[in-house]
Amino acid sequence: MSLAQNVEFMRQFSKLSGFNGLGAYGRSASAVPSPLVEIGQFGTNPGALRMFSFVPEHLQRAPALVVVLHGCGQTAAGYDLGAGWSTLAKRYGFALLMPEQQASNNGNTCFNWFDPGDTTRGRGEAASIRQMIARMVVEHKIDSRRIYVTGLSAGGAMASAMLATYPDVFAGGAVIAGLPYGIASNVREALNGMMQSASRPARELGDLVRKASKHKGPWPKLSVWHGSADRTVNPANANEIVKQWLDVHGLPSAPMSTADVDGYPRDVWWNEEGETVVESYTITDMAHGTPLGLAGGSDESYGAAGAFMIEAGISSSYHIANFFGLTERVSQPNEVVKPDTKSVARPAPKPAAPVVPSAATASLQSPELAATLWPRTTLIRHAKPPRTPKRNNIDVGAVITRALTAAGLMK
């Protein structure tokens, strides 16, 4: 691409994304007190990212880790303030990792989700995030079967990249106003994907994920969120993301269930064991941003409204954490926990897949980690399920309950 084309791209890109008007949730958020702590050393850091984390005083036993990726123009602290992830982490006892882009890598502080040098396994920004995860696993005894990733916009597209390039690391992910993995390899293709979102065959999209690593499954589950009035990232991208991961999971294109949640349609697909593995929320008439549910002061109210943090009557952060199976309250010392009727009403999350330790599990680590960072770390790959599920082991009652709940016929 010529210099003139790059200049024109950046001019249009800034207009599209409104990166100059982020207020307290963009670059100025550095002045806002934050519970996040910066960690300086976590490996070779080939993507030159900054690492921030939040670990609550009271962690669950074998705690989970959620990796949260901010949008363009934002900071880790700013996005945490807006989306409320550290508040969720404190309430439910999981650890939080929030990588942060630097202006030296991208002038709008977008994660470079379209650059193969940053979205290939073992390279660039993707490798830096993987190294951050390795440090968190070792330092805080994270359960390697309970690692998740989510992000907004460019952060959502980068979450797609992390799920595709490291499917052996993540149990699940959530993409908010993002894009499918592998549809762009330069800035012009990225802009076209944002504006037009050309429809691609499901098999082609699925192959982009399958070719990103040597992993053969099981695959991470996925939650997709998008506003129907988004003028920055075409809402059709949500359909393409869903299509991509349905193909990876070998699931049909038609939703197995559709129901309203907090007034918005949610499509659901589950696997043969009855576990929801793909879900998609369409936030009607919402523009580009992360949906918040602040009105009413319910237990699902997290974050604070601001630029690209939009009050919509539904808390995406809470519902994503619930989709990950993280919303069981942690008891504090000398505290009597009142029953959470919202949590009780939901079916209990299905236990994580069993883990079979083997010598091959060391392949979870990138070459940089093996050479420079955690030589004694052994992270465990999800065990591969049998090709033919044993029907006599399926809890039929639980499957029926999940189906009725997803259809809105049971609370």
Which residues have a catalytic role annotated?
A: 153
Task: Please tell me what DSSP assigns to residue 388.
Answer: S
Separation between Cα atoms, residue 376 and residue 339, nearest integer Å: 42
Structure tokens at 97: 């990792």
Separation between Cα atoms, residue 334 and residue 356, nearest integer Å: 38
Separation between Cα atoms, residue 362 and residue 19, nearest integer Å: 41
Q: Which residues contact 178 (CB under 8 A, 6 or more apart)?
A: 113, 151, 152, 153, 154, 155, 156, 157, 158, 159, 160, 233, 237, 241
Separation between Cα atoms, residue 119 and residue 111, nearest integer Å: 10
Alpha carbon distances (Å) from 398 to 249, 280, 319, 346, 402: 21, 22, 20, 12, 6
Residue 139 Cα to chain centre, angstroms: 22
Maximum alpha-carbon separation in the chain? 64
Q: Give the phi and the psi of residue 155 in degrees, each rounded to 5.
A: -65, -35
Separation between Cα atoms, residue 105 and residue 160, nearest integer Å: 19
Q: Give the phi and the psi of residue 80 in degrees, each rounded to 5.
A: -60, -45
